[in-house]
């Protein structure tokens, strides 16, 4: 692994606003007087310095444009007029003061910092008539969707900052599954109205939402803005949609309760996301936290996530459309973040058809997150994920896998041996639709409780390749299982099993080296099998490997080297 010593300065810009005599003043960031938190990080790849937006000191208050706080009167026009005037006059700061504010979609403009004061609570209206159907994006593809609560397209030099809270009123949009609520909650939800699925297990907020999800055969064959109006509640938008924007800063605010994904920069460049709190109910359908999609050059630092789906997600488009777009997510530093509930703490995929490369991820904490580090795709996606560095990752109370690679996501279920985890899959021809995961480095991983330590489910025609795991202490029920991998190195691993079983099983894999390996609680140290297995090297930190704790299938015995 070649490491290029490069230093990047990550700046977190702290904005301040001072109120007095009905005038608002914001710090002039064109001449940086604001406090900068500078973190110098040596990176294993070359990365340009992230460009941070700068703004004129000119400040506009939404109150001066007719916004009325602490009522249900919509402030949509006032907020958007203030943003429009600010942008047209050369840019500056638009301030939302403390108070309860109700609004429809907010449309960002270039050279504007939308700054929220401490105590500002911005609630997006549940009146869906305020959200027009537009050509938009979701899960990597162009689709017809409703306008996002916050949106911006083809903008430059923009920011949303401060200590305010943006609430997307997602319950007006989202379906809910019965298994994610208590009996009492489910009963109250049904009493509120809405429509149940035929099996009674999913609640929809309206008939249109139900048809749009459950009876798609009833939808127009050629959807248009006009003919999809009755079903618009099924076309849930992401909450913060920023498309093809440059020099973007999100700092300090809370984004919560989104209709679908929460924050989704798409095809953006030079992103600084810092000190954010991103929240969704744990039962929220498609309730992702942050989805960075086909973006390049940015940082995510000191953010907190508690969401209903994946938390920190890196994506780059889906299937043919993503491959043809050809915009990878690349050149990101992600560090000093905490994830509470989420399906995955840090995730790449499954929409990664445009590729993902050159990411440095450091100092993340997952507490009660369903899965820790999650990498997922499926045949048909294509795309290459490579050059990913992850270090200093801590996990506590992980219900499933601490680290998981699944190249069968949304694909046909495959049969696993209940003891060894071995799978046998037919090899397919390699093409542009074959996904590839390679060149990934994991160091200093500490897990206090997980169902499984590590699970890799590669595909035979493109095994998960060149992974390095170094300095790991993991307490889990199940150990390590690998299928269809190549060039996998383990060094200094301390595996502590809470249930007896196999510490590490290797199937249909090649060039695997395990050294300085320590296990406790197991009743079998290693299992190795699979017709395609070659060049396996095993070493334990114990004085001698006890051979009755090592099981080698007859077909691989001459391919396994045990180092005492």
Q: Is the distance from CB of 498 to CB of 522 less than 8 angstroms?
A: no
Name the pairing type of β-strands 23-26 and 17-20. Answer: antiparallel
- Looking at residue 27, its pLDDT comes to 40
What are the helix and strand counts (H, E) for the chain? 4, 43
Q: Is the distance from CB of 440 to CB of 406 less than 8 angstroms?
A: no
- Looking at residue 41, its pLDDT comes to 65
Q: Is the distance from CB of 477 to CB of 426 less than 8 angstroms?
A: no
Which residues does 122 contact at the CB level (< 8 Å), separation at least 6?
Answer: 96, 101, 103, 116, 164, 165, 166, 167
CA distance 209 to 21: 48
How confident is the model over 468-479, as a mean pLDDT?
98
- Looking at residue 12, its pLDDT comes to 36
For residue 16, pLDDT over 50 is answered with no
Q: Which segment of 17-21, 288-292, 315-319 scores lowest on mean pLDDT?
A: 17-21
How confident is the model over 387-403, as a mean pLDDT?
98
Ranked by mean pLDDT, which of 26-30, 224-228, 421-425 comes out on top?
224-228
| 498/555: higher pLDDT | 498
- Looking at residue 542, its pLDDT comes to 62
- Looking at residue 429, its pLDDT comes to 97
CA distance 264 to 138: 9
- Looking at residue 486, its pLDDT comes to 98
490-537 pLDDT per residue, tens:
999 999 999 999 999 999 999 999 999 999 999 999 999 999 999 999
- Looking at residue 413, its pLDDT comes to 73
Which token pair is 553? 């299938």
For residue 450, pLDDT over 70 is answered with yes
- Looking at residue 401, its pLDDT comes to 98
| 9/557: higher pLDDT | 557
Catalytic positions = 309, 343
CA distances from 42 to 1, 39, 45, 362 (A): 15, 10, 9, 11
User: pTM of whole model > 0.85?
Assistant: yes
How confident is the model over 96-123, as a mean pLDDT?
98
| Polymer length of the chain | 564
Q: Where are the domains of the chain?
A: 477-563
How confident is the model over 85-114, as a mean pLDDT?
98
What secondary structure letter does DSSP report for 75?
A: -
Q: Is 557 helix (H, G, I), strand (E, B) or coil?
A: helix
What secondary structure letter does DSSP report for 87?
A: H
For residue 38, pLDDT over 80 is answered with no
253-262 pLDDT per residue, tens:
999 999 999 9
CA distance 318 to 279: 25
For residue 129, pLDDT over 70 is answered with yes
For residue 158, pLDDT over 80 is answered with yes
């Amino acid at each position: 692994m070649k490491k290029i010593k490069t230093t990047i300065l990550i700046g977190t810009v702290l904005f301040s606003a001072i109120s007095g005599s009905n005038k608002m003043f914001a710090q002039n960031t064109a001449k940086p007087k604001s406090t900068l938190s500078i973190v110098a990080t040596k990176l294993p790849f070359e990365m340009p310095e992230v460009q941070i937006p700068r703004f004129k000191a000119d400040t506009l208050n939404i109150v001066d444009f007719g916004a009325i706080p602490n009522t249900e009167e919509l402030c949509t026009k006032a907020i958007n007029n203030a943003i429009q005037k600010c942008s047209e006059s050369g840019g500056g700061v638009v301030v939302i003061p403390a108070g309860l504010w109700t609004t429809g979609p907010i449309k960002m403009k270039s050279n504007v910092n939308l700054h929220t004061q401490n105590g500002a609570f911005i609630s997006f209206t549940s009146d869906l008539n305020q959200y027009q159907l537009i050509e938009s994006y979701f899960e990597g593809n162009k689709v017809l969707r409703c306008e996002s609560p916050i949106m911006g397209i083809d903008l430059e030099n923009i920011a949303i900052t401060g200590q305010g809270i943006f609430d997307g009123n997602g319950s007006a949009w989202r379906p809910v599954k019965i298994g994610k609520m208590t009996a009492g909650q489910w009963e109250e939800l049904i009493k509120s109205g809405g429509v149940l699925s035929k099996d009674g297990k999913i609640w929809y907020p309206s008939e249109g939402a139900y048809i749009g999800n459950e009876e798609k055969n009833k939808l127009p064959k050629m959807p248009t803005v006009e003919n999809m109006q009755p079903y618009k509640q099924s076309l849930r938008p992401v909450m913060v949609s920023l498309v093809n924007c440059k020099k973007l800063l999100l700092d300090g605010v809370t984004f919560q309760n989104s209709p679908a994904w929460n924050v989704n920069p798409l095809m953006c460049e030079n992103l600084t996301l810092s000190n954010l709190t991103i929240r969704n109910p744990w039962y929220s359908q498609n309730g992702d936290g942050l989805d960075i999609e086909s973006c390049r050059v940015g940082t995510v630092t000191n953010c907190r996530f508690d969401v209903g789906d994946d938390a920190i997600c890196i994506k780059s488009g889906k299937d043919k459309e993503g491959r043809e777009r050809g915009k990878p997510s690349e050149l990101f530093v992600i560090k000093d973040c905490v994830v509470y509930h989420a399906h995955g703490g840090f995730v790449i995929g499954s929409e990664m058809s445009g590729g993902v490369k050159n990411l440095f991820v450091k100092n993340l904490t997952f507490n009660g997150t369903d899965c820790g580090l999650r990498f997922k795709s499926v045949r048909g996606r294509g795309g290459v994920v490579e050059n990913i560095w992850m270090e200093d990752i801590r996990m506590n109370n992980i219900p499933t896998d601490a680290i998981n690679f699944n190249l069968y996501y949304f694909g046909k279920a495959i049969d696993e041996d209940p003891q060894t985890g071995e799978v046998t899959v037919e090899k397919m021809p390699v093409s542009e639709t074959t996904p590839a995961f390679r060149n990934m480095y994991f160091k200093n991983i500490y897990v206090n409780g997980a169902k499984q330590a590590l699970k890799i489910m590669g595909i035979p025609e493109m095994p998960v390749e060149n992974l390095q795991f170094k300095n790991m202490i993991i307490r889990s029920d199940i150990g390590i299982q690998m299928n269809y991998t190549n060039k996998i190195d383990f060094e200094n691993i301390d595996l502590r099993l809470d249930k007896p079983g196999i510490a590490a099983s290797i199937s249909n894999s090649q060039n695997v080296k395990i050294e300085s390996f320590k296990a406790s609680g197991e009743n079998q140290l290693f299992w190795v099998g699979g017709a395609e297995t070659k060049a396996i090297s095993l070493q334990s930190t114990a004085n001698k490997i006890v051979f009755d704790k090592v099981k080698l299938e007859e077909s691989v015995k001459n391919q396994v080297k045990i180092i005492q």
